[in-house]
Amino acid sequence: MQVERVSPCSIVDPGHFVNAAKREAQSDPRGLFADQFENEANFRAHFSTTGPEIWTQTGGKIDAFVAASGTGGTIAGVSRYLKQQNDKIKAYLVDPPGSGLYNKVVKGVMYAQTEAEGTRRRHQVDTITEGIGINRITANFEQAALDGAFKVDI
């Protein structure tokens, strides 16, 4: 196995780590591209493991679940599971600078301030925080049961 280092860049760039991983998997007959962003096994794994773990460890005494989102699997799976156990539990997204999810949840429109006229960079990077925040709705995030969102500064 070999680790290939890649530079940070937008998901639309062929050099983005997701695109590089997909190419590499397709070029190897033994390769597998799990596609954690769009593969809903991600959501199901958190619905069937992480959600129940939180429920059990809190003894069901939980008022709210707050999380950031990258692939959307964790926040979707956990929020759905917890609300299934108790519909009074609230679930909130916390979203970093550069991500459009906050605006999608709160205003219904996918938009990040970095996309404002005159501020759009040629090579947009989703967020300044690797692993969380994104400017698209994934198949996993679509499953989330959210009550609201907060913007955070990092």
pLDDT digits (tens, 9 = 90+) for 29-86: 999 999 888 999 999 999 999 999 999 999 999 999 999 999 999 999 999 999 999 9
In the CATH scheme, what is the code of domain 43-151? 3.40.50.1100
Domain borders along the chain are 1-33, 43-151
pLDDT digits (tens, 9 = 90+) for 96-142: 887 889 999 999 988 766 666 555 555 554 545 567 888 889 999 99
Looking at the chain, how many residues does it have?
154
> Which residue's entry shows tokens 């962003």?
37
pLDDT at 1: 67
Three-class DSSP category at 36: coil
- Confidence (pTM): 0.81
Dihedral angle, C-alpha 139, 142, 145, 150, nearest 10 °:
110
Cβ–Cβ contacts within 10 Å for residue 118, how many?
Answer: 4
145 touches 77 (CB < 8 A): no
